[in-house]
Amino acid sequence: MYKLAYSKYKNMTPLLIKKEQILTGLSTNRISNTIGSLINCSLNHITFTFDSSSGGSVCTIRHEDLPRRATFNPDSFCVTHAHSAPITDIQYNNFNQSVLATCALDSTIKLWTVSDDSESNLSKMDLLTSIPLNENRSDCIQWNPNVAGIFVSSSLNTVYLWDVNDNQVNNVQTIRAHTDTIQGLTWKRDGSLLCTTAKDKTMIIVDPRNINTNQNLKIENSKTANKDSKICWLGETNCILSSVYTQSFTREIHLWDIRNTSSPVHESTIDSGNNVLNPFYDHDTSALFLVGKAETTIKYGEVFLNDSNWSFAHNSSQALDDQIKAVCLLPKLGLDLMKCEIDRLILLTRNSVYPLPYLAPRNDKTSFHQNLYPDTYNLNKPGCDKKLWMEGQNSQTIKIPLNPNTIRNNGVSDERKTHNVPETSNSSVNFVATQSTKTESVNVANMLSSININNMSEMSESNSKTKNTHNKQDKDSSSDKENDQTKKAENVLMRSNLNPNVLSTPNKLAPLSNLDNRKSKAKSVYYQSKFKYINGKAAHKNEHITNIRSLSTMWSAESNGFQINSKHAAFFVSGNSGQIGIVELNKVGRLDDAVINTLVNRVKCSDFQWDPFDDETLAAACDDCTIKLWKIPEEGLDQSLEDPPIVLTGHADRLASIKYHPYAKNVLASSSYDKTIKIWNIDSRLPIITLHSHTDFIFSFNWSPCGSKLATICKDGYIRVYEPLKSEFPILESKCGPRKDAKAARIEWVLHGRGLLASGFGTGNLRQIFLFDSENLNELKSEDINHSPSLLIPYFDVDINVLYLYAKGEETINLYEIQEEEPYFQVLTPFKPDGSHLAIGFLPKISCDIKSAEIAKAYRLTKDNRIEPMSFTVPRVKLSFFQDDIYPDTIDRHESYLNANDWFNGIQPELIYINLQPAGMQKLSEILAVEQSTQPSKPNRNIEIARKESNGSNGTGDMYDPQNLSTDERKIISSMLQRATLFRNNDKSEDEEDNSEWD
């Protein structure tokens, strides 16, 4: 009995993307049901047609721009009026991914070049040539998959072979083999043969170079009804797949062997429906996707061609929300290989365009799985020269490995970015309808007979190879284990100790990306973080502040929405007057049911922050282009305040966020929707410095630890670094920030000013964090977190380099230790308190309980109207000693170092560091050093044995002499002997019982 071989792709599943990644607002209801493809893609671009006045318009968009454009607008996209009648097919050139061919019902075929316009940041299409036809329509186009510059087109029952040169397009051959309209074209993967199917219920295999049509091979398919039939040549094999609609109203898949065309080798009934299923075949993995037009289901299966028993297995079906109009497959080189993406479909539905990736389930998605990716066809080099092919010669296809390292070394990765684009000429291209002469005619019948002889030997060899199927399965299944072992064998570099005294002069430090010997060191030393098992704990309910009335949950992504200091907590209160509620942290328990006292700004407030050097001063950024500074009474608010003592005005548009200077008193920076950042001298109520160069909305900004620099992350995708006291323009600017049109992002200085951490989104709401070198903005590391629409808000502990990540409306707090060497991000134990939080505020390090190894203290604003204290501790055994390895000297932030005038005059402060060691506690490092010095060294037993053997003793008896054993060793040996004696007695008694039974 025949048994299917093990498949690595059986459980391949689609990844349904978020709605934000779907380009909506299209209309494709009036698109005609053609035999060609109404959407196609290259490595860089996607081109599709849509409803227009004439039906001949196409839109081109880059892959990376697809999830960034939420709604389709012809004015914001590259829309080209390509034809004067509805388009019937769109096909990209296999070996020149910037050349596109289109055909339509206006009896023309047009070739285009697709590129990117740097000025408008959009794609553009330039016409290369227009080919008129004698027929009244053009139905389908297919480029030769193994020869550059050759394609065929169909019009009614005629097939045309075209030769594309630099300055002309020649009609090489005209084939009329069918008596009715052609419904499909497909090449053999080596480009030697062409198969066509038509309404006359026949399939014809031809060599398009051959003039003699009597040598064509004709296949009758009597089961086909009077509907379209689709065909697909399966790679370089002798198998042709046909998708038919039978007379019994069922949809079937037929596998034909061109060596024996009397009947299909395999027939598989899929289902019943109104339209024929369009096949999309992956030549590398033998995966087959079946899609019916105007349907909502995609069927996935596999074709097995291991031996003579060919078959098709239907694995799964995926239902969608909208009717499918057209589908195309992304080339293999464009897949996300590290995420185990096997195939990616680009769908054109009734109202949208979006990708649908199919992933193989693997636990390890950080390394390349070689067993999932066989060699693929080279898109950079054709397998056969066009001149030789026209003379009748055939060549094998060229394949390349998909391993990212191999691709990079071979230079294939450059193909994703640049292509050899033909120059566009304003003059019309000469169309020459001539028939080329051949030095040698090609006989299809002879070719098929030779194929039969060769493949019979191949089939016999494949039968002998089926005995080794289990061995191949073992190799495939063990590849993941090898990847895991390889990953575990890679060690990371121990974090070097940073001298905190260099905080005042960060520019003297070497850039992170220029440190030498990182990789060599990373493989020799394993680093175990001291903070790996940080223990997060929420305080008891008796310490919570509850019953916070009218708590607002709506604020912009640029604000944390919750700020605390050592005395007060501030939060947004619902209403239209921009109210900020204030509560005292020491007044725990349930608040009164009365309305909470607030700061009334009278307009909507976007952000607020406490003065770091004055616990009673709060700054609020408002939509009326002002910053209001409020003074809170020391005993707290006993009534609502409506008149702020200080109001700063100067921005031309509403404000977004504000940040106090870390060391200078009364220095405040603010960002606005006017695309500027102003730095204020609160003493004079004036903006002294205005930072420019932003071309879009500023997502976030932050002061450097030394206070001399300021970094911004903008919606235009740029990260900029300023030195405000030297220039109003950035000293560094790089397009390394979030993807364009992202909805939010945050930026933080890390590693004592030597690094910049950005939190943002990738495609499909994939939350990511990035680490950059602050000296040159080179990307050092990126880390994918998870998929969620909420922005990850970072808080960085500058003393111990621990990063806390939380998001509004979620429950988990992710922790990382950031290192200045690979792997840069060390994952720590996450903390998941009960219930979701709206925001989190952290207190300075000086407020931590050092005696209990507490490294961070925070307050959590929850959805159930409460403020909940939290503590993060490091588990330690000897808590009676000061854990100096996790408490380096920290900067004294209780008092300011400069006033505003001194800072604006360029005076650099001398920072003061304080020791966190409590009085009366001894350092743990000193105790461990004393214990290690006083501990007696253990004798080397091997040396003792060798010494006794040299004296003439065998050493065996002396080695087990009780006089040479320690007290612990004696106890262990005595216990082992007692247990052995007990087992021996039990076995002896059982044997005696067994013997007595036999007696």
Residue 825 has phi, psi (to 5 degrees) of -110, 115
pLDDT for residue 947: 52
DSSP 3-state of 181: coil
Q: What is the pLDDT of residues 503-537, one digit of tens each?
A: 333 334 455 655 443 443 333 344 678 898 899 99
φ, ψ (nearest 5 deg) of residue 865: 60, 50
Domain that holds residue 36: 13-377
Is residue 687 classed exposed, middle or buried when 0-12, 13-18 and 19+ CB atoms within 10 A define those classes? buried
Q: Give every CB contact of residue 673 below 8 A, 6+ residues apart in sequence.
A: 653, 654, 655, 656, 697
Q: Are strands 99-104 and 108-117 parallel, antiparallel or unpaired?
A: antiparallel
d(CA 947, CA 936): 21
Identify whether 24 is part of a domain: yes
The predicted pLDDT at position 987 comes to 52
Q: Are 972 and 979 in contact (CB under 8 A)?
A: no
Query: The tokens of 292 are what?
Result: 């019916």
* Helix (H/G/I), strand (E/B), else coil: 951: coil
Whether omega for the bond prior to residue 823 falls within 30 degrees of 0, making it cis, is yes
Q: How many C-beta atoms lie closer than 10 Å to residue 884's C-beta?
A: 17
In a domain, 90, yes or no: yes
- 755-761 contacts: CB < 8 A, separation 24 or more? 755/512, 755/780, 755/818, 755/820, 756/711, 756/719, 756/721, 757/794, 757/796, 757/803, 757/818, 758/713, 758/719, 759/791, 759/792, 759/793, 759/794, 759/805, 760/713, 760/791, 761/791
Does residue 764 or residue 644 have the better pLDDT?
644
Q: What is the pLDDT of residues 586-609, one digit of tens each?
A: 889 998 887 788 999 989 999 999
Token pair in block for residue 517: 């010997």
Distance CA 648, CA 666 (A): 12
Q: Which helix (H) or strand (E) holds 466?
A: none
Grade residue 167 by pLDDT with cuts at 50, 70 and 90: low
Query: What is the rounded distance in angstroms from the CA atom of residue 265 to the CA atom of residue 263?
Result: 6
108 φ/ψ sector (left φ>0, alpha ψ -120 to 50, else beta): beta
- As a whole number, mean pLDDT of residues 873-881 equals 90
Tens-place pLDDT, residues 332-363? 988 988 888 999 999 998 888 999 999 998 88
Classify residue 980: in a domain, yes or no: no
What element of type H or E holds 290? strand 287-292
In a domain, 46, yes or no: yes
Measured at the CA of 174, the angle between CA 170 and CA 178, to 5 degrees, comes to 155
The pLDDT tens digits for 125-139 are 988 888 888 777 888
Closest C-alpha among 243, 297, 230, 305 to residue 269: 243
Contacts 24+ apart (CB under 8 A), 586-591: 587/545, 587/636, 588/542, 588/543, 588/544, 588/545, 589/542, 589/544, 589/545, 589/546, 590/546, 590/547, 591/545, 591/546, 591/547, 591/548, 591/549
CA atoms within 13 A on the CB side of 768: 17
Query: Which residue in 245, 490, 209 sits closest to 364, CA to CA?
Result: 490
Structural contact between residues 363 and 339, judged by C-beta atoms closer than 8 angstroms: no
Residue 903 phi, psi (nearest 5): -70, -45
DSSP reduced 3-state for 163:
strand
**Cα separation of 565 and 585, whole Å?**
9
Compare 264 and 20 and report the one with higher pLDDT: 264
Scored b (16 or more CB within 10 A) or e, 85-107 reads: bbbbbbbbbbbbbbbbbbbbbbb
CATH of the domain at 827: 2.130.10.10
The pLDDT score that the predictor gives to residue 616 is: 93
Alpha-carbon distance 696 to 694, whole Å? Answer: 6
Residue 339 lies in a domain: yes
User: Which strands, in side-by-side order, build the sheet including 45-49?
Assistant: 39-41, 45-49, 57-62, 78-81
pLDDT of 983: 60
Lowest-pLDDT choice from 59-68, 245-254, 953-962: 953-962
Q: What does the pLDDT read at residue 6?
A: 60
Residue 964 pLDDT: 59
pLDDT over 90 percentage in the chain: 35
pTM, two decimals, is 0.49
Q: Strands of 655-660's sheet, edge to edge?
A: 655-660, 667-672, 677-681, 686-691
890 and 912 Cβ atoms separated by less than 8 Å: no
Cα–Cα distance for residue pair 560/840, rounded to 1 Å: 8
> Of 343, 377, 411, which residue constitutes the final position of a domain?
377
Which residue has better confidence, 954 or 762?
762
Q: How much is the average pLDDT of 698-710?
A: 93
Q: Retrieve residue 968's tokens.
A: 């612990």
Residue 728 phi/psi, 5-degree rounding, is -90, 0
What confidence tier does 985 reach under pLDDT thresholds 50, 70, 90? low
| H/E run at residue 753 | none
What is the rounded distance in angstroms from the CA atom of residue 69 to the CA atom of residue 740? Answer: 10
Q: Which helix (H) or strand (E) holds 824?
A: none
DSSP state for residue 49 in the 8-state scheme: E
Q: What pLDDT sits at residue 545?
A: 93
Query: Which of 352, 377, 402 is a domain's end point?
Result: 377
* Number of domains the chain is built from: 2
Name the residue with tokens 């606005």: 672
Strand-pair partners of 39: 48
Q: Is 333 helix (H, G, I), strand (E, B) or coil?
A: helix
Establish if 19 belongs to a structural domain.
yes
638 part of a folded domain: no
Q: Can you tell me the mean pLDDT for 833-845?
A: 92
Q: What is the pLDDT of residues 880-924, one digit of tens each?
A: 899 999 999 999 888 899 999 999 999 988 888 999 999 888 898
Q: Quick one: how far is CA 301 from the chain centroid?
A: 26
Phi/psi of residue 941, each to 5°? -65, -30
- 29 domain-assigned: yes
Final residue belonging to a domain, choices 377, 396, 431: 377
